[in-house]
Amino acid sequence: MTYIVTLIPGDGIGPELSEATVGVLEATGIGFAWEVQQAGEATIASEGTPLPERVVESIRRNGVAIKGPITTPVGTGFRSVNVGLRLALELYANVRPARSMVGVESRYTDVDLIIVRENTEDLYAGVEHRVGPDAAESIKIITRAASQRIARYAFEYALRNGRRKVTAVHKANIMKLSDGLFLESCGQVAAEYAGRVEFEDRIVDNMCMQLVQKPERYDVLVLPNLYGDIVSDLAAGLVGGLGVAPGSNIGETAAVFEAVHGSAPKYAGQNRANPTALILSSALMLRHLGETAAADRVESAVRSVIADGRVTTHDLGGRAGTREFASAVAERVRGT
Ligand code: NAD
């Protein structure tokens, strides 16, 4: 069986990381056919848009994509490709695991969080306008349908993966209507899972403090879009930074796997960036495809190469390049 996967190399460090990730995936022995689709800075000049329709069509056709980071040019009027893809393909769940790793320096050793971020509405719906020359409004959209859908995803994820608790994160004390509706919707869904998965809620500012003080108390977090974006970077910081934080964007009919980090232009083309986050994102893709054993092999290969400490990238205090690290991981995948 060969999986046809859309591969978007992306901008900045994206092409190097994509190449590294393809090498590791091919080491699993599973058959892949890569449908390479350029998007981002390169296609603005050649096709007049950073997100040509053919890219969306390719993902629709194949159902899965691996995506390198894409630069969002400031002030050009183009919408973020990342946000555009999530909306075009209705990738409503952004799932970002944050798990401590031996060999990655951090203040904690026992973090194991799953951030489930609603990906289609809130302040990212893109409804904003100027109100005269000196004021602007961005509209925060929260619906019961999207809130229940993301809450259900979080609870189903918890059940499937043996997780014990879901925490809904909000600011319903201030945004009583919008965040109030999010919280109410999560509570309604939680009632269906009573006795199987615990439920609690936290106000987002308190949540940030709690995560920094006692991250081990939390398990699966479910959040509206903006808080999810911010808290997932905080969670990445708890386990050693953006270089090791994977992610996935899941919809009913398509899924896009990408690192939490951006295109880090200062490291582009230098064989210096850490491919761990994209490689771990590709392991999430293997899991999504039902290739659980291969996903376990890729994850444990990454973990053991990093734990050994002989071949690690600069951000983790090592001297290996992107390619050398990826080769070491691929070799270990082949050997398991
Ligand atoms: P960034 O994640 O690119 O970089 C933040 C810091 O982390 C920098 O110091 C960078 O060098 C470092 N870093 C990031 N990834 C790394 C890796 N794999 N290995 C080693 N170090 C790494 O964030 P930014 O600088 O705010 O954004 C740069 C561009 O990326 C912007 O245009 C932004 O819009 C875009 N972006 C894209 C995505 C995406 O495609 N999903 C996500 C975030 C940001």
Neighbours of 304 (CB within 10 A): 15
Inside any domain, residue 112:
no
In a domain, 98, yes or no: yes
Phi and psi at residue 203, to the nearest 5°:
-75, 140
Cβ(291) to ligand 1 under 6 A? no
Domain containing 201 equals 118-238
pTM for this prediction: 0.94
- Domain end, chosen from 238, 270, 286, is at 238
- Which residue, among 288, 303, 216, has the nearest Cα to 247 in the 3D structure? 288
User: Where does residue 39 fall: left (phi above 0), alpha (psi -120 to 50 degrees), or beta otherwise?
Assistant: beta
pLDDT at residue 76, as a whole number: 64
Q: What CATH number has the domain bearing residue 28?
A: 3.40.718.10
- The percentage of the chain sitting over the pLDDT mark of 70, rounded to a whole number, equals 99
Q: Where are the alpha helices (DSSP H) in the chain?
A: 14-26, 41-47, 53-62, 81-88, 144-160, 178-192, 204-213, 225-238, 276-288, 292-308, 322-335
Q: Which of 153, 229, 267, 315 is catalytic?
A: 229
CATH number at residue 160: 3.40.50
Q: Which of 171, 193, 218, 267 is catalytic?
A: 171
The total number of structural domains that make up the chain? 2
Dump pLDDT digits (tens) for 142-169. 999 999 999 999 999 999 999 999 999 9
Same domain, 290 and 148: no
- Report the distance separating Cα 54 and Cα 42, nearest Å: 15
Give the Cα separation of 138 and 149 in Å (integer).
23
End residue of a domain, out of 216, 238, 260: 238
Residue 173 has pLDDT above 70, yes or no: yes
Q: What is the pLDDT at residue 309?
A: 95
Q: Is the CB–ligand 1 distance for residue 258 below 6 Å?
A: yes
Asked if 152 and 204 sit in the same domain, the reply is yes
Pocket test for ligand 1, best of 260, 261, 272 (most atoms within 8 A of CB): 261
Q: Among 76, 17, 99, which residue's Cα sits nearest to residue 306?
A: 99
Average pLDDT over residues 245-265: 96
Our answer to whether residue 266 is catalytic in this structure is: no
What are the tens digits of pLDDT across the range 273-321? 999 999 999 999 999 999 999 999 999 999 999 999 999 999 999 999 9
Last residue of a domain, one of 238, 272, 297: 238
- Is residue 75 scored above 90 in pLDDT? no
